[in-house]
Structure 1
Amino acid sequence: MKVSEKIQQAAAAGTPFFSFEYFPPKTEQGLVNLYDRIERMARLGPLFVAVTWGAGGATAQRTLELCGVCQSVFGIETVMHLTCTNMDQAMVDEALESAKNAGIRNILALRGDPPRGAEYWTACDGGFTYAADLVRYIREKYQDYFCIGVAGYPEGHIESKDADQDFKYFVEKVAAGADFVFSQLVYDASLFIKWEKRCRDSGIQVPIVPGVLPIQSYQSFRRLVHLTKAQVPEDLKTRLEDVKANDQAVKDLGVEHAVNMVRELQSAGISGVHLTTLNLESTVQRVLNALEMSNATPLTVGSSLNLAQQTLRSVTAPLSAAADQGPPGGASDSGSTLAAKRVWDDFPNGRWGDARSPAFGSLDAYGAMLKFDPHGSSNTWGNPLCNADVSKLFSQYVSGEIPSLPWSDEPLLAETQRIRDELLRINQLGYWTLASQPALDSVPSSDPTHGWGPRGGYIYQKAFVECFVPAQLFPAFLSRLQSASPRITYYASNAQGDFITNAYSSQSDEENATAVTAVTWGVFPGRAVVQPTLIDKMNFLAWRTEAFQTWREWAAMFSPESKEYEFLTTTAEECWLVNVVDNEFKNAHAIWDMFK
């Protein structure tokens, strides 16, 4: 059924409704566990669900698979996102045919985000310039088969310098053949209410659903606002800053704000909301329970296999054992599997979380790995021709002279100040750092820089550094790492897939390397030890593909005949990605001896 019809039926009946948005997880285990989670969340009664699409079809297969399961296995009407970014007509045709074959009738047609590092968005050869072009193409080729949605921007598009012209473009996009509208995320209900009225006054009659993302963590909220430039009410800003070191208090505030915002929307006659979940469950359910919109009672803890796992067992059997496990050391309030998995919701931590979590990589899912465009600007990162140029660029980033790198679109976090001098030194030596953290020994959980979790606890961290190592430095560097084992745990891989590690749970584990290293953990009153930040082979390799692909995307900003292109592609082929953990967290400086 078309979601536009479902929305209109709910509106005619005066029934408040909600929908969920998911993204394809980065790992197979994460996908299996997301099926488990969607089956539970389906009992809450969403009118439909939506699944995001990676730029350039980066998640195409997994998006289609996830949409197909939601539609056919769980019986939930599903909207598939489809973006123009780096998608030519043939790729769009393939995606639409695959969607049709899977029984998907609802498409959210998007232009997509501009490639990271680009001054402006441009279409690839044979592609579409605007979302309106994609809407017209789908409507012309498939007539009325697909129900087509588009995005709306209550605060104006982030790239627009003329708000009135931007709104005119939006009206034209709807007129091109759209059946419904999802709005960009808003944190001020009055902005949406005012914009929705303007839409109606301009003759737009299709359903318009506001996008709502309850605040899940301070870091993810900070990143989202940085990327979208969404306006945040001053009261919310102040209250969030006051509790930012207390993860539970942040979530409580996020639930309170989302509930109040939905109530304000409902009072204005807007009965439905589209909830971006980031593949997390507990906060969304708390919001729906508070609003009395959920069709299900609060989940009870249990360990039996659910419908999703039973239905999908044939295709996920090799992964089932790993998928059924919760995070090691993470069962805070119950020994059951479901309670253990809820720690993924309590402490989501981006790609350095548990790779089995459905939310693994959630901080990256909405903007961190946007694809480059051949016409993008090189103003920020210059024109690298040798290793010294790259070392200078990374050093400028660490020192705060430039705001981003091809691998990171935000400045360094505050906690990195503690190790900034060492990071600057090793980048100048030619070790190009991508991620790091200092060692911590019993820091109060209320600490404004390093704290997290409930008050009254203590935080511990092992120092780690992830970096690219040029080919000429790698042999000696690897030798130092090996000589420091087992105190030093490392993973190393290159673009060809060669993989080296000393992270084994036992001698018999050398082939599989299944050891998991907790590099951040917390001890809190009334809870078991919580380990939200894990490094293992699975999450290292999940990131490796993107890390090396970014070299190639950076190179694609230059002409294939240029010296810059030759240097960057050669570097991508020759350098190594290395993750180094110092297991002696009481000695904060030992890890730096590895970098010479």
Structure 2
Amino acid sequence: MSTVKDLINSLGPDEKFVSFEFFPPKTDSGFRNLLARLNRLSAFNPLFITVTWGAGGSTSEKSLDLAATCQKKIGLNTVLHLTCTNTNKEVIDEALARAKTNGIRNILALRGDLARTEEYWTPNCEFKNAIDLVKYIREHYGDYFCIGVAAYPEGHVDGSDNSNQNPKKDIPYLIEKVKAGADFIITQLFFDVDKFISFEKLIKQEPELKNIPLIPGLMPITTHKVFTRATKLSHATIPSTIYNNFEDIKNDDDAVKSLGVELLCDIIDKINKSTNLKGYHFYTLNLEKAVASIINESKVLHPILEGPSTRFENEDALASDSEDEEIPNGQKPQQQRRKSSINENVVGKSMNTKLLYSNKKALFEISRGKGALGKDATWDDFPNGRFGDSNSPAYGEIDGYGPNLKIHNPKEAITKWGSPTTTKQLSSIFIDYLSGKIDVVPWADSSLSPETAIIQEQLFELNEKGWFSVASQPAVNGCKSTDNIFGWGPPNGIIYQKSFVELFIPKKDWEQLKPQLDESTTFYAGNNKGEIESNLPINQSHNFKSKNAVTWGVFPSKEVIQPTVIDYESFKAWNEEAFLLWLEWSRCYKKQSESFKLLNSVYENYVLVSLIHHEFPEENALWDLLL
């Protein structure tokens, strides 16, 4: 039960460290498989890991469960994220008490998102910002918790306008956090290394901050879509040279990953040459291959496996928790060794050599996607779109913070979407998004992919009926993986996909449509209570086990890759989030307004329906059926 502060202070003068962020997976199988991934990543000697916090409901429970498992069962020094704005004191007290009970001694204290309007403020909320949370933890727990706080190398942003970003304005608030009791600082992700180096110098000029450990936050680049989305959400600047380099290869996933590793290694090298910082924090997105590749290639980080460390593996303690975890394609995760805090003087020289060889081998296999560990690291290597594989810990959005409207405040929501009071006006919002007139809706935070243009007219007709589409794709019966519209993955591959659409449909319309579906169409349908139905069989444990690969690729010297799989578990997780977004949207308006009533009526009276047509050679089959 070590604190981050003590762990950093125990490092030698030239010793470096890494730390990793994870979020609670959205599905049970994803949670189990993350444990296997965490065991593999423990071979990289992370100084600590952090677990993101989802405010409220099942998401916060999953955060606490994951953090407890990491600390107690896997033996990783764990930092629990905790957001406080619009959260009542009882929730904070319970989270801190459970953290202490489970041996967690580290908290990352964050403000979190503000409430939409004053009407929706949580009662008994004593926290306006992270400073209040830091003070509260210190007052009630003394020095038991080591507290970290966030910093923003390019300046913090409140709202959608990043023109007010100025790191100098943030320094007084950072000083207040440290005075309140903060022990270390982790930064928001960035790609402009010069701006980070300037920020580090700015911090070192302040007497109150210069001795506080500063840890740069880095995000490995797994796909072009994730790269651009993450920078948009974080307001991180992408230098034009970097942006253009990735834009030129955006359809070649392997090339994007390779360039991403090269970029991150370059950033780390520049930071190492310009500062005395010891560690680097990786926003892993619950994926491992990119992180392994960076550590393997980085001259700065690779020696972490070789240097003196008290973070040895216990050769006799098998991590049996992950032996029977569910891995696609019948793969079984390797038995991993559980960490223990064995003093280096107690460990024999031969064991040190064996451990070093074991760690290097694990790192090499995972980074190259070779061997047993490498295969386990790459089966979810192409997380393209929301519908990945529900077995993947990375399934879903790229963070674990719960349903998010993709906008910053009610004013921005009203500017983009107006104040709809009729179903027709709601339909117009969805059609405007399909037309490119608006760039975001609550269920999608990026512009449409080019393939949507192929089925645009059909989607217009569906939305004009009051059936609101939130996801779709046309059928493809074989095209090159380098295709500008449908391409993904490495070159010289062939891509296939089934037509698919996901709609919010009035309950009465769904009951009329359901009998008309033919045997070539699979459906999942859910309501706001989480009740799911399907035309697929249910086994004795009442779980739908059938899986539908709706996108797959065939590549030279590779197994068939299925990046988009729709099944019961993935649909159930998304169904909960998709309905909550209607409520989040409604809270941009006053409770007695017509817009509030309309959005809540959709929440109450619609079902979310996912439709997959399996005859992919017939391009129009699904659309003819629906229209």
Same fold? TM cut 0.5: yes
Q: Is 1:490 paired with 2:523?
A: yes
Q: Is the 8 A contact 2:470 2:502 kept in 1?
A: yes
The CA distance in 1 between the partners of 2:463 and 2:331, in whole Å, is 35
Give, in whole Å, the separation in 1 of the partners of 2:504 and 2:61.
29
- What pairs with 1:327-342 in structure 2 (closer than 5 Å)? 327=329, 340-342=375-377
1:371-392 Cα shifts (integer Å, max 9, x gaps): 9999665333233333222212
Q: d(CA) in 1 for partners of 2:570 and 2:448?
A: 21
Return the alpha-carbon distance in structure 2 between the equivalents of residues 589 and 123 of structure 1.
48
Alpha carbons 2:74, 2:319 under 8 Å: kept: no
**In 2, Cα distance between equivalents of 1:437 and 1:570:** 28
CA contact 2:151–2:187 (8 Å) conserved in 1: yes
The change in CA–CA distance for 1:355 and 1:157 in structure 2 (over 3 A counts) is same
Distance in 2, matches of 1:131 and 1:100, equals 20
CA positional deviation for 1:336? 8.4
User: Residue 139 of structure 2 corresponds to which residue in structure 1?
Assistant: 140
Which of 494, 513, 521 matches 1:458? Answer: 494
TM-superposition CA deviations, 1:513-564 (whole Å, max 9, x none)? 3111111111111122211110111101111111111122222333333333
AA matched with 1:157: H
- Say if 2:280 is the partner of 1:282: no
SS of 1:352's equivalent in the other structure is coil
Name the residue aligned to 1:539.
Answer: 570
CA offsets 1:392-447 (integer angstroms, 9 cap, x no match): 22112111222221222222223222222221221111110011111112111111
Is the aligned partner of 1:354 residue 2:389?
Answer: yes
In the other structure, the counterpart of 1:34 is 34
The answer to whether the 8 Å contact 1:325/1:337 transfers is: no
Could you tell me whether the CA contact under 8 Å between 1:350 and 1:363 is conserved in 2? Answer: no
Q: Does 1:421 align with 2:457?
A: yes
Counterparts in 2 of 1:502 and 1:122: CA distance versus 1, 3 Å: closer
Note if contact 2:405-2:442 (Cα within 8 Å) is conserved in structure 1. Answer: no
1:576 aligns to 2:577 (yes or no): no
Name 1:303's counterpart in structure 2.
none
Identity level (%): 40
Whether the 8 Å contact between 2:110 and 2:149 is mirrored in structure 1 is yes
- Alpha carbons 1:248, 1:346 under 8 Å: kept: no
Letter in 1 for 2:32: V
Query: The residue matched to 1:137 in structure 2 has which SS?
Result: helix
From 418, 427, 435, the equivalent of 1:382 is 418
Aligned to 2:266: 260
Sort the Cα spacing of 1:169 and 1:512 in 2 relative to 1 into closer, same or farther, 3 A. Answer: closer
Counterpart secondary structure, 1:405: coil
Unaligned stretches of 5+ in structure 1?
A: 298-305, 314-319
Q: Residue 188 in 1 paired to residue 198 in 2?
A: no
TM-score (norm 2): 0.85
Task: Label 1:121 to 1:53 Cα distance change in 2 as closer, same or farther (>3 A).
Answer: farther
The range that moved more, 535-544 or 402-411, is 402-411
Report the Cα distance in structure 2 between the residues aligned to 1:93 and 1:438, rounded to whole angstroms.
49
Could you give the per-residue CA deviations for residues 287-306 of structure 1, whole angstroms, max 9, x where no partner exists?
Answer: 11122144289xxxxxxxx9
- Using the TM superposition, give the Cα deviation of residue 82 of structure 1 relative to its aligned residue in structure 2, in angstroms: 0.4
Report the equivalent of 1:316: none
Alignment of 1:105-254 (within 5 A): 105-114=105-114, 124-127=122-125, 128-159=127-158, 161=164, 163=166, 164-203=168-207, 204=209, 205-254=211-260
Alignment partner of 1:444 out of 456, 459, 480: 480
Helix, strand or coil at the partner of 1:206: coil
Of 431-440 and 122-131, the range deviating more from structure 2:
122-131
Letter in 2 for 1:285: A
Q: CA deviation at 1:472?
A: 3.2
SS in 1 for 2:394: coil
How many residues align? The count is 571
Q: Stretches of 4+ moved more than 4 A in 1? A: 118-123, 306-309, 327-331, 333-340, 370-377, 507-511
Kindly indicate whether residue 627 of structure 2 is the aligned counterpart of residue 566 of structure 1: no
Superposed CA RMSD: 2.9
Report the CA distance between 1:152 and its aligned residue.
0.4
Give the equivalent residue in structure 2 for 1:317.
none
Q: Secondary structure at the match of 1:346?
A: coil
Q: CA deviation at 1:350?
A: 4.4
The CA deviation at 1:187 is 1.0
Taking the aligned partners of 2:429 and 2:128, their CA distance within structure 1 comes to: 32
State the Cα distance separating 1:124 from its structure 2 match. Answer: 3.5
TM-superposed CA distance for 1:47, in Å, is 0.7
3-state SS of paired residue (1:514): coil
For 2:150, give the aligned amino acid.
A
2:296 pairs with 1:295:
no
| Aligned counterpart, 1:326 | 328
Which deviates the most, 543-552 or 553-562?
553-562
TM-superposition CA deviations, 1:95-146 (whole Å, max 9, x none)? 111111111111100012456xx59999643322111111111122222221
Q: 1:248 to 1:547 in 2, by over 3 A?
A: same
TM-score (normalised: structure 1): 0.89
Distance (Å, rounded) in 2 between the aligned partners of 1:27 and 1:469: 25
